[in-house]
Chains A and B, each alone.
Chain A
Amino acid sequence: MLGVVASPVQAKKKLPNKFPRVANYFLDPQISNAEAKELAQWDVVILGFENQYTSPNAFKKMRAINPDILILAYVTSEEVPIKHLKETDKKHPVYKLYNQLNEKDNWFLKNASGDYLNFYPGTRMLNVTTAWKKTLPKYMTKQVLKKHPKKWDGVFYDNCFNDISWIDNKVDVNQDGKADSWKTADKQWKRGMNTIMKQTRKRNKGKLIICNSNGEYYTSINGRLIEAFPSDFDGKWSGSMQKYYDVMNTAKKPRMVIVNTVANSSDDSNYKKMRYNLTSTLMGDGFASFDQSVDFHASLWWYDEYSVGLGNPISAPFNVDTNAGPDDFSNGVWRRNFQQGIVLVNSSNETKKIVLEDGYEKILGTQDTTINNGKVVGAVTLNSKDGIILQGRPTQVAGATFTNGTLAKVFGKNGKMKRNNFFTYNSQFDGGDTIIYLEDVNKTVTADETYVYVYKGGNLLTKLAPYGEYFTGGVNIDVDRLEGKNKGYRIVTGTQNYGPHVRIWSLKGKLKNPGCFPYDQVFGGGVNVAIGDVDKTNRGKEIVVAAAKGGGPHVRILNYDCELISPGFFAYGEGMRTGVSLAVGDVDDDGKDDIVTVPGQGAASHVRIFNSRGKEKSSFFAYDSSNHSGASVAVSDIDGNGKNEIVVMSFSIFNQ
């Protein structure tokens, strides 16, 4: 019977462009939906290859939540769990791969006495110089990677030993009934393993292949998993780090190293050990993994540090005392700088105090709150074998409109402070300018009293006067990718004064829609604008508007043709005339964009979160309710952790 024809090779997946990178080594024969939902948080998940049969929905669930997730199929390359030989379900992948071994005894690795050899309890070693060396890659290709291309992004071969003579002094690799010399055994073993790797690579060019071994096969594979880091076997921390770096320098690109540390306990609160793993991993570009034990890789332990967005590394690791680089991972305090913070790890046996040149912000965590207390620090004290992630203090509200030079407060949906206050400021632009930075296209759009400017870096690409050269009432902007016939990045402009006129422009300054007046033209105030997909229809994003200073709190929703599609709602009492600042974004992680409002100058900074029908989801006061200085609001992923926060900005230098 012919097998199902595999679909074409899936497009090569990129490694996540974020740090920290985390992996979960999760070997569980059956994965529930709840587990899948949690597993979706990790960047890389290693699942048993049998899960494609036992838990097919788990893959869909994980990819739906995290489209960028990388899922690797776990399989042992040179051993078989004995229990797998007893599998009777003929459809089961385990049966399909291993049942044939019951009839091919010569595929097992034996010694000269004919004894089965094993390395790990409950398993039996296979002889990779036999046909197994082709059977395994063929199976993994046809029955796993190509048969289920939407499930798997690659394969993780556990235990890819570089040699085998160590397993038994009478090992008989060539099956001649005599003990092989160690040299012969190792040479043949390595050749067999190389065949497995090369065959797998040859058949799966776009897939990730990693092993649990040292780096003998890196010309074919993308990296390795370092288990139980840092191990004495690998030379403790220094040796392990050196091996980690060796892989990062020699493996086939894209290079993937998963640095796994085990707690050797079912208690997930060994935060120090987790941090040691994570911060050590962050000295390179690998993926940190922390779970229970080498015997039980099936933990769903998520830590505050995993949610931090550090951006990309901007330096190599260096020893803070000696300034040595990664060529010499001697014990001490090591540091690596990232776009959004720094990472420190103390591999020495002493407690160390590190004085930092600048102030950094500790994570405001919920687990080890003695460490992750949210404080801004200029020095930290690190215990031996511990590490810490410190966040840089933000100066911009990424991906959202903000006013240059204000004090920003960062909240969760219920008003819980998520980050320390910070001052929004981009020194390239004047204080008071309205700014939005589009990270994905590296462009900055700004607005002043008359003009809207589009920059790429320091180069001015576009300058437009959306309401004419003589208009000096101030321009409000939001920029986002609109869908439908106006598809593409669009600048939606509103006015701060002199009439509520909304217009739509391209980034090149071409008028895409002459606009509309969502409020009475007689109204002399302006209109604040925000873009988002608030109604979750297939019509794409909407433009949500609210009257600016002097106007009532009437929020209305327009489509991308600037046509009113919802009469809207009153965010506050109808008599209020402070205008309303608003932003749109998913702040409660329900997959739908919310409308976040705050009154302007003259009213308390009462932040309210609505759905598109005006139903309040939550609310809080950003400042004391007696403070009527006013505020503006943005929705942005300040942490860089993929979840939005509510950023409330002062109107002046600060509101307190």
Chain B
Amino acid sequence: MRILWHHTKRATKHVSKKTGHFLFPYLWHYYTDTYKGRFHHLIVDSVLSMMILTLLAANVAIGGWLYVFFIPPEVEVELSVPAVVISGSNLTLDIAYNNLSKGVANVQFEVLTPTGFIATDDQLFQTIEELAAGEQGVLKAKGYFIGNVDEAYRFIAIYSYDYYGQHYEQVRAVTFTPVTSSFEVVTNVPDKILRTEDVSWTVEYVNNSTVPRTDACIALVIPESFTVIESSNEISDQNIVYLGEVESRAAGIITITGHFNNAIGEGKQVLGVSALDDCAAEQYVQTEMSDPIRVLTPRMSLGTSGAETVNVGTSARYTNSYTNTGDAPLRNVTLVATLNDFENRVSAISGNGGLVSGNTVTWTDSEILPGETHSQSFTINTNPNYREKNAEMSYSVRATAEIDDLGILTYTPSIAKSIKYNSTLNFAVQYRNGERVGEQFGYGPYPMEADNITAVRVFWEVQDFTNDLSNVTIQTTLPSQVEWTGMASVTEGSGVTYDPATRKVTWHTGSIPSFAHPQGASFEVRVRPNSQQIGKNINVTNETYFSARDSFTGVVLSRSSSALRTDDPIQPFSD
């Protein structure tokens, strides 16, 4: 161990001497030498040392220069967009950066956007003052994008940075393709249509975007055989419907009516539609849709008949007739009558051979030959307890059949019929005398006596009417033994009149509103029976007639009431 320590000590001492001597020989020698010229030696050595040191420093400087200027910094940038890009919707470009080597300064990003991208913030040009080695982050460029669906578009990012007076610049790009659009269109046409029928074609559009769509259009794909009769929106010669600006979340519908004037046979036609954005300039194609429609040759005619107005508590029969107007037999004919608003209004439906289910009556007919006409009918019993103002119901009838030689299902247009309910009406005629003090409506002996005067009050009462009534007239005549006293009153309209020449009593009023309280007129008459009438019941008034026009159905409602007769036989004179 001591030997080891000894040699280590000697070696250390030797290295120290040699290193010190090497690096600072003039100081070494100056302190270790004792000769005379050692000071001179010191100067020479110092000069020599300075030279050595200078050379060493120069080498170091050269090495540093080489490091700075011959090894460039490395900044890595990646661009990315969402996996699904929707035209017309928000779109954010992510710019991910990573400084892999040396710190750089004045890092600048400039994003070049595709046409159709509208930035919603000011982030297309961004600067980072200092970017240290190893620093990383993500910049975002936000906006929304409108472009053709399924067409490729590209973002380009140009970025640059400085390093010890050196300026570096690089470019990155990302490509994306809108898979769909927030400006959507849906077209809707019937599956089939008779050639003689007008086609109702609807195009619904909606802007699901958070931003408005300016200069939006819808391009219609219209077959040559289709003639537009009417459209809710103007259609250009190029079959474009210009919508202008469609607000965010706004929707609309275009209704087009037309017909196929040249289609023959039972062929199929296609009506298509595509949404266009910025249609005045770029015409970005958004969603597209098409709908096939079969145009059928009419082979059947259908008609229906029956009362247009009904009274509550009665029955009405409706007959539906269908004719094969084609040149081929029709098989499996199905006729369906559908009653609308029938709840409560109808107490029973009878199919007369048809199957009644809910509000439908269905008849089937195995075959109808060309030129033949078949009929089916149903009967409704109106609800006697139904009371509603201006009550109305309707039914529609439609037939379907298989074309014998083609196996195609054809049909007839639906026909409809409205059934209005006449007003209910309770018309009552009565007279009252009223013996109880305080509640007398007349005077004189009762039962009536011969040669004695009894006055009674005649009441005409109209109630329980559901529709407004107009031109209301009630009329009667007075028998010879009955006199008009002039005491009369009415609840509505002008007064009761009496014509002594004709002995007619009349009440006329222009209108009576429905569901008012009972309305009517009353008047007093004096009755003076003669002795020939003793033991008989006599007329107080003759037959009474009521007429009024139902303001809803237009029907003149008539009622009559038989002669108003005394309740009791005439008694002999008692006083």
> Considering the chains assembled together, what is the distance between the CA atoms of A373 and B440 in angstroms?
12
A404 contacts across to B, CB distance below 8 A = 489
Kindly provide the distance from the CB of B342 to the nearest chain A CB, expressed in whole angstroms. Answer: 30
CA distance A406 to B517 in the complex (A): 11
Docked Cα-Cα span, A431 to B511, in Å, equals 12
Given known pairs A378-B453, A652-B519, the reply for A421 and B439 (CB within 8 Å) is yes
* Inter-chain contact A423/B437, CB cutoff 8 Å: no
Measured in the bound complex, the distance between the Cα atoms of B493 and A423 in whole Å is 16
Decide: B495 and A427 in contact? CB cutoff 8 A.
yes
Is B491 a contact of A431 with CB atoms below 8 Å? Answer: yes
Chain A residues with CB below 8 A from B493, complex form: 430-432
* Residues of chain B in range 452-485 having any CB-CB distance to chain A below 8 Å: 453-455, 459, 461, 463, 485
Q: Within the complex, what minimum Cβ distance (angstroms) separates A239 from chain B?
A: 33
Question: Within the assembled complex, what's the spacing in Å between the Cα atoms of A417 and B520?
Answer: 25
B153 at the interface (CB under 8 A from A): no
List, in ascending order, chain B residues with CB within 8 A of A364's CB: 437-438
Contact status of A420 and B491, CB under 8 A, knowing A358-B485, A651-B517, A653-B461: no
A409 to B439, CA, bound (A): 8
Contact with A along B424-467 (1 / 0, CB 8 A): 00000000000001111111100000000111000101010000
* B164-204 contact mask (Cβ, 8 Å, vs A): 1 or 0: 00000000000000000000000000000000000000000
With beta carbons under 8 angstroms apart, the residue of B439, B441, B491, B517 that contacts A601 is: B517
- Whether A653 pairs with B438 at a CB distance below 8 angstroms is no
Q: Are A431 and B438 in contact (CB under 8 A)?
A: no
> Known interface pairs A364-B438, A431-B492. Does A378 touch B517 (Cβ–Cβ under 8 Å)?
no
Which listed residue, B437, B438, B491, B524, touches A432 by the CB 8 Å rule?
Answer: B491
Say if the beta carbon of B66 comes within 8 Å of chain A: no
Bound: A379/B575 CA distance, A: 11
CB distance from A36 to the nearest CB of B (A): 35
C-alpha gap A435/B521 in the complex (Å): 18
> Does B356 interact with chain A (Cβ within 8 Å)?
no
Q: Chain B contacts of A420 at CB under 8 A?
A: 437-440
Kindly list chain B residues whose C-beta atoms are within 8 Å of the C-beta of A189: none
For the complex, is B59 an interface residue (Cβ under 8 Å from A)? no
Q: With contacts A364-B438, A375-B440, A378-B453 known, is A652 near B491, CB below 8 A?
A: yes
A376 pairs with B491, CB closer than 8 A: no
Closest-by-CB residue of B relative to A433 is: B492
The answer to the question of A205 belonging to the interface, with a C-beta cut-off of 8 Å to chain B, is no
A359 within 8 A of B: yes
Per a CB cutoff under 8 Å, which of A359, A374, A424 touches B489?
Answer: A424
Interface residues of A in 358-401 (CB under 8 A from B): 358-359, 364, 373-379, 381, 393, 395
Q: Which residue of B lies closest to A359 (CB)?
A: B443
User: Given A431-B490, A432-B492, A653-B491, A378–B444 Cβ distance below 8 Å?
Assistant: yes
Contacts of B509 in A (CB 8 A): 431
Which one, A379, A406, A419, A425, contacts B438 given CB within 8 A? A419
**A374-B438, A417-B438, A419-B438 known; A359 and B490 CB under 8 Å?**
no
Contact in complex: A421, B440 (CB < 8 Å): yes
| Assembled-state Cα–Cα distance A406/B521 (Å) | 10
B453 touches A379 (CB 8 A): yes
Complex Cα spacing A376 to B438, Å: 9
* A353–B459 touching, CB < 8 Å: no
In the complex, chain B residues 478-510 whose Cβ is within 8 Å of any chain A Cβ = 485, 487-495, 509
Chain A CB within 8 A of B554 CB: no
Chain A residues positioned under 8 Å from B489 (CB to CB): 395, 404-406, 423-425, 431
Q: CB of A119 within 8 A of chain B? A: no
8 Å CB contact of B437 from A358, A374, A379, A630: A374
Q: Are B519 and A653 in contact (CB under 8 A)?
A: yes
Q: Are A378 and B526 in contact (CB under 8 A)?
A: yes
Which residues from chain A contact B526 at a C-beta distance below 8 Å? Answer: 378
| Residues of B contacting A373 in the complex (Cβ-Cβ under 8 angstroms) | 437
Judge if A312 is at the interface, Cβ distance under 8 Å. no
Contact A378 B443 (CB under 8 A): yes
Q: How far is the CA of A601 from the CA of B518 in the complex (A)?
A: 12
Question: B522 an interface residue at 8 Å Cβ cutoff?
Answer: yes
Identify which of B454, B463, B487 gathers the most chain A CB atoms within 10 Å of its CB: B487
Q: Kindly report which residue of chain B lies nearest to residue A411, judged by CB atoms.
A: B438
B497 CB, nearest partner CB in chain A, Å: 10
A652, B461: Cα distance in complex, Å: 9
B459 closest partner in A (C-beta): A653
Contact status of A405 and B485, CB under 8 A, knowing A359-B442, A652-B519, A654-B459? no
Scan residues 597-651 of chain A and give those whose CB is less than 8 A from a CB of chain B. 601, 629-630, 651
Closest to B495 in A: A427
A406 and B524 within 8 A (CB): no
CB-CB under 8 A for A653 and B442, given A423-B489, A427-B495 = no
A355 within 8 A of B: yes
Question: How close is B452's CB to chain A, nearest CB, in angstroms?
Answer: 8
Interfacial residues, chain A to chain B (CB-CB below 8 A): 353, 355, 358-359, 364, 373-379, 381, 393, 395, 404-406, 409, 417, 419-421, 423-425, 427, 430-432, 601, 629-630, 651-654
CB<8 Å pairs between A and B, sample of 29: A353-B575, A358-B485, A359-B443, A359-B524, A364-B437, A375-B437, A375-B443, A376-B440, A377-B443, A377-B444, A378-B453, A405-B489, A406-B489, A417-B438, A420-B439, A421-B438, A423-B522, A424-B489, A425-B488, A425-B490, A427-B495, A430-B493, A430-B494, A431-B491, A652-B519, A653-B461, A653-B491, A653-B520, A653-B521
Identify 9 new A-B residue pairs, CB closer than 8 A, beyond the known A425-B489, A652-B518.
Answer: A375-B443, A376-B442, A379-B444, A405-B492, A420-B439, A421-B439, A431-B489, A431-B493, A652-B463
